[in-house]
Structure 1
Amino acid sequence: MTLAEELYISEKHGCDQTGDGTASKPFKTATTAMLAYGKESFPQMFVDGKTHEKMSMMRIVSQIKHLMQVKVQEDAERKEKDLEEAKQVTINTYYEFGEDIPEMPERRMADKINEPILLCRFPGKIKNFYMKRCPGDKRLTESVDVLIPNVGEIVGGSMSMADFAELMEAYKVEGVDPSKYYWYTDQRKFGTCPHGGYGLGLERLLTWLCDQHHIRDVCLYPRFLERCNPLPCKPFLCVLRKSGK
């Protein structure tokens, strides 16, 4: 919004969604007005017709506490809904060898066991072709996913093929042209060593460390199905600033 010299707030007649801070279209809450203005020091504010040179800290804190209470309630309702959906997916559902397990059953399993889980040796058909096969069973890969209660998968990793002949055969099975990956193949052709790698989901790790139920609550710019603007998360950034975290 264009920076103004005055901001108008009205609990009775204001609206945070359609308001713009003018006398004819006031905001409903001081928090939204401050976020819309976007910088300190804030201009002169009019609250239901009363002039305040500086907004009362108690008023702002009470609004932030209300937002936090709403967020906690929404998290609890969302978690209960997700668990019910997980139950419907897992009840009377059996997975055959070679099938991938969807996210919700994985989370349901981790929540049920309530301890970190290392899910190992995935079938090669559902993994990348360059993953090293298990010596005792070539249908399996030397791979692992780390599942955490209340979050699900946070780490995925595997060993990579280090043998040149094995990698060339994997190209052939998958129908991949090895000439496009000459730089990758040459590492095996001219010498390498057994090696692997893993990927750590930073936001997923933060979800676990911060004890949040949904990853969108720890993303700087979360995505929503019906919204592109990340403004709904900004009030909670204010909470962190006020608490000094």
Structure 2
Amino acid sequence: MTAFDLNSDLGESFGRWELGDDEAMLDVVTSANVACGFHAGDPATLRRTVARAAANGVVVGAQVAYNDLAGFGRRFMDLPAAELTADVLFQIGGLEAMCRVAGTTVRYVKPHGALYNATVHHREQAKAVVTAVAEYDASLPILGLPGSELLRAAEEAGLRGVPEFFVDRGYTPEGALVSRREEGAVLHDPEEVTARLLRMLEEGVVRAVDGSDVRVSAESACVHGDSPGAVGMAAAVRVGLQKAGVELKGFV
């Protein structure tokens, strides 16, 4: 592989509550999954984040979520499909307004947190997200876990599904993400996560929490912006990719 995308979840501060270092991260990544106000991100934060992304030539994606500010979007919500589709449309449109005045545009969509995990296996919710994207702009790719119902539904609807790898998250033997409630869910060592990503690119596998190897193929890798030392970890990954001869480039 000669080119690869590095993304991060950004725009997640809210009012006086600051989360992550968006400015520094936007100097490292090639794509930004920007919150849309449902799980995090107030309007001023979102406007500031997309403006910085536009200035840095970073691709902006809408990170859509359940309407759950108190839980940071990490709690499953059993919503009717039509309601979830409307929520996703609302979020994309809101972020698009901020992008428009910053001279950029929403270029892809990625679910956040519990919604992301739900669309791995929850067929109805996966289709609800895909329906929203297809109705808004069918040219927008959807970022999701390899083998998920989300990517399957995107393909069936004629949308581009983009498989994603998480450099700082543990994997189960089935290829899903380890629950944040369990040991080994979040990784923090820059050298370790860089080595994991390079191995995935070279061999198509990642070491699961039980020590087995899981087949993984991806077009983009995520470093969570709210993790401790996230910027340093993302910078280490970027350097590791460059040393391996991989060009950092947005997938869209």
TM tier, smaller:
under 0.3
TM-score (norm 2): 0.20
Of the two, which has the highest radius of gyration? 1
TM-score (norm 1): 0.21
